[in-house]
Amino acid sequence: MTLEKTYPCPKCGAYRLVYDGMLVWRSGSRPPRSLARKEIGFSPRADYERERCYHCENCGAEFFEDMDSSVARLYEEGGKGVYEL
């Protein structure tokens, strides 16, 4: 499930979150969000890191959701804020 139209933007409150795709990488530093893809197959391996990327059409804020976390949170790009859902 993605957050599109389900949750408001934590910055401006508009229900305009757009799913940009998912980042999947094995190790090392996080790849740039421009590499996020909407069509990604899942590997059964546990050593992959995954994040869903979103942006707000209203205010332009960019967020990501850590899929390995047990708590639903949106993290604003650049470490500007963490928002619990």
Range of the domain at 75: 17-52+60-84
Query: Is 33 domain-assigned?
Result: yes
77 is a domain residue: yes
CA 77/CA 82 separation, integer angstroms: 10
Q: Is position 9 within any domain?
A: no
- Does any domain span residue 4? no
With CA atoms as reference, report the closest residue to 63 among 79, 45, 40, 50.
79
Q: Which long-range contacts (CB under 8 A, 24 or more apart) does 76-85 make?
A: 76/10, 76/11, 77/33, 81/10, 81/11, 83/10, 85/3, 85/7
Domain for residue 3, yes or no? no
Does some domain include residue 6? no
Residue 28, domain member (yes or no): yes
Q: What is the predicted pLDDT for the residue at 27?
A: 77
In a domain? residue 37? yes
Number of domains in the chain: 1
Q: What is the pLDDT of residues 8-44, one digit of tens each?
A: 999 999 999 999 998 888 877 888 888 888 876 666 5
Compute the distance between CA of residue 68 and CA of residue 50 in angstroms, rounded to an integer: 7
